[in-house]
Chain A
């Protein structure tokens, strides 16, 4: 257990020292969202109508951009070899890396999402809903993303391949994430959607570390 937490602590420390990486993905998230009013026009009702989808798609893309950070740096400097032969089982190793990724790369997006939601004229119920939906649904993004990141680790054009592998698997999260927000805006119960998102996160919690662990072992050989 000590190894598990020391690994998370190290990754958090690294992210804090290299704060620019987190700032960059936040900037990306903001810019993508700014593009939409510029693209579809500033009419408030239209923006409010597309806001849930825009927020979720931008969050998916911002998350996708940070996925290579999960393993790539450790792979390049040889740390990954040392982590793999260390005391942690592979699945827990992946889980620790995923938790650190979620805390450093996804949580900041969720924190500024309400501000961006307001700028898109989303109703206040929707703002709360989008925050909750992101909180519950986004672990799936990190967990499934870890599988893709492990499979494409060390490849020359891994980034493009990673998006092709991972984005189709993100679709259910997108659909139910948006549905939760739309339900909240329409004053309908959003609990069923959140439960489904939570269920997907739990499923990904089982499958993701196993598959990513197997992919890691393979990539190091």
Chain B
């Protein structure tokens, strides 16, 4: 399992966000994307999640070029963005079970997700009543509700307290140990062993 990028350049409108970004990520590895506000962290993660098209550069999944045809990449990753992706009128369990079903998973992975992020007490609470931290956990629980080798995480720690930051770090470490990959943008160092760094302020590749 591997994800690599070669000389990725992005323009928004006519403005240059970043250029010539490259990285190479193998199974079990994580990439920490750093940079000040506006350096293009979110943009890079959205490009990796195929929500944006870069103006130049190539992407490879398992050494297959997915720049044009992303068929092999489909369903291989999860993207956690700034938005909570929750329907306020559905309960925590209903929200998660929809995403599990949407990705072709059954009840078992739903229970795993609820356990993994300690949501058991909240499972029948409508998502509209959750606090910001609880919403974030429910959102992160999608990572376990349907397994995928690559996690793309944009500010996964925001609104989490120290206990849940540790919990999240544990889930991420398990994911990496099992051979998974992760791409994350955070302000603080997660302290993941052997994680690579990509500093967008430095304006070059890792």
Contact = CB atoms under 8 A, between A and B. Distances in A.
A85 B78 CA distance: 9
A189 B179 CA distance: 68
Interface stretch (A1-9, A180-188, A192-200): A1-9
Contacts of B52: 221
A2 B103 CA distance: 8
A87 B103 contact: yes
Interface stretch (B19-27, B85-93, B195-203): B85-93
Interface stretch (B94-102, B157-165, B169-177): B94-102
B167 to A, nearest CB: 22
Contacts of A78: 81-85
Interface in A162-219: none
Interface residues of B, number: 26
Contacts of B85: 77-79, 81-82
Contacts, number: 64
A10 B98 contact: yes
Interface string A1-31: 0110011001001100110000000000000
Interface residues of A, number: 22
B75 interface: yes
B146 to A, nearest CB: 9
B99 A82 contact: yes
Interface of B: 49-53, 74-75, 77, 79, 81-87, 89-90, 94, 98-99, 101-104, 142
29 contacts: A2-B102, A2-B104, A3-B104, A10-B98, A13-B90, A13-B94, A14-B87, A14-B90, A18-B89, A77-B83, A77-B86, A78-B81, A78-B84, A79-B85, A81-B51, A81-B79, A81-B83, A84-B51, A85-B50, A85-B77, A86-B75, A86-B102, A87-B74, A87-B75, A87-B102, A87-B104, A88-B102, A221-B51, A221-B52
Interface of A: 2-3, 6-7, 10, 13-14, 17-18, 77-79, 81-88, 220-221
